[in-house]
Amino acid sequence: MLISNHLQQYKAAMLSLPKGTALSKDDLQVDKLLMKRSGKLEMYYAPHNEYINPSAKVIIIGLTPGFTQMRIAIQEAVIGLKAGLSDEEVCRKAKEAARFAGSMRSTLIHMLDTLGLHQYLNLTSCDQLFQKQQTNLHTTSLLRFPVFVEKKNYNGAHPKLRSDPFLRECALLSLEQELGILSQALIIPLGKTVEEMLQLLVSEGKLDDHRCLWGFPHPSGANGHRFKQFASQQEDMTKTLQDHLWNV
């Protein structure tokens, strides 16, 4: 299902993008795809996080789509639009193609398998969550649409998300909408910035902290300490899965 539908507004812009070439930042970070601007922060449209999977058993929440995800999602959406697919199908296929694309997905799968999540879901590997068993998975971002700082991927640090009114409002709106629909699923926040926002909801009584797998590092290669962080939290996360979050 679609949790929002800005696709109608940006269809013409996407269909007018250069053809027959890999889309660059100069192609995509343009006014016709710009959604909002706040100081040095710019939010651009990408279609994949408009689709939500209401039957998901697991929610993985990242910070914000990076440029690579934005590019893949838009390229996939253009294919779907030209094929005459419905808005929901266009956004769903864009999500499936773009989510945690590249080496980050491999790292994420490895970490989830190490924790044994696949066993609780009766899978041979969490790789299946991104393949034949996608009905079990919903992926999203704290900031639903790609945010850049001076054209570079926003990393949660400058400015701090919780202290920036623009980012904080966007994040809380997205979280409350999606977690309200997926009220029973296991939540895996990627990185400290995402954790901080979820813990804010816990402190306000809007989220059960036993649903959350705390301590999971962001699997991006930009996080040079991801494997060390994972190892330090592995025992606690494994226990959380066993004791609190999954019983199937």
Q: Does residue 148 sit within a domain?
A: yes
Q: Does residue 47 sit within a domain?
A: yes
Q: Does residue 23 sit within a domain?
A: yes
| pLDDT at residue number 120 | 87
Q: Does residue 105 sit within a domain?
A: yes
Q: What is the CATH number of the domain that holds 189?
A: 3.40.470
Domain with 43, as residue range(s), is: 5-243
Q: Does residue 248 sit within a domain?
A: no
Each residue's pLDDT tens digit in the chain (248 positions)?
A: 999 889 999 999 999 999 877 899 999 999 999 999 999 999 999 999 999 998 898 999 999 999 999 999 999 999 999 999 999 999 999 999 998 877 889 999 999 999 999 998 889 999 999 887 678 899 999 999 999 999 999 999 899 999 999 999 999 999 999 998 998 889 999 999 999 999 999 999 999 888 899 999 998 888 889 999 999 999 999 988 887 555 54
Identify the H or E element spanning 212: none
Structural domains of the chain, count? 1
